[in-house]
Amino acid sequence: MYTKEQMAEVRKTAFAAPRARQEGKTTIVLGSGDNAQKFVLTERGYCARFVRQVYEAALDIGPYSWEYAAGDALEMCKKLKAAGFLVNDGKLVPGDIVGINKYSGEHGHIAIYVGKSGGEDMIAENTSSAVRGNPRGAGTKLTPYSEIIHRVTGVYRLGPGAAQENAWPTFRSFVYVGNKCVEMEVVPGGDHRRDQGKVYWRTK
């Protein structure tokens, strides 16, 4: 799991590539020295490579050295899920990897959530699509999350608040004991693995 600072660098790197393309650049180099990554911004359909390069540049590690590198989006999602990074807490945190595999063909699609821009949740992606995002042409771009949310198949969090803490929903109910309101919190899968199946009581 990566630190808060590393995830901030992931967000910054993921934002930098599509911003450079919006400025009319066709390539950008991010990272330094032997670990520098060259992004070809006008190439299209290299979503898994884009995610890999962002993480490698942000973490300052060499090309093809990120342990979740994969040949396509579906394989990358499988690796991230197997590593325990799948979250279903309904939140998005900058740096989260978004699997977009509904209606995405045999190789799937994958992107990085970069936070809000202009009041909208945004993802950075490399795609063959020329009908969404900014710029509209295929390649590396920023796209409103709302344009792809119906196709999302998983969100993977590699930083603080990752799967081990958020993978299961918490159910709450309220009961009165005498004149005190008591909250019962049931964590079916455990918000921490060691807490699996426990029931908590808290007096208000």
- Tell me: the pLDDT tens digits for 36-69? 999 999 999 899 999 999 999 999 999 999 999 9
Single pTM value for the model: 0.77
- Write out pLDDT tens, residues 21-34: 999 999 999 988 88
pLDDT at 161: 54
Q: Are 93 and 162 in contact (CB under 8 A)?
A: no
pLDDT at 154: 94
- Write out pLDDT tens, residues 80-116: 999 999 998 888 999 999 999 887 778 899 999 999 9
Banded model confidence at residue 180, pLDDT cuts 50, 70, 90: low
Sign of CA dihedral 38, 41, 47, 50: positive
pLDDT at 146: 95
Residue type, 186: V
Q: Which of 151, 142, 150 is nearest to 121 (CA)?
A: 142
Domains of the chain, start order: 4-166 (3.90.1720.10), 171-203 (no CATH)
188: its two tokens: 């079916």
Q: What dihedral do alpha carbons 172, 83, 73, 95 form, nearest 10°?
A: 60
Give yes or no for residue 16 having a pLDDT over 50: yes
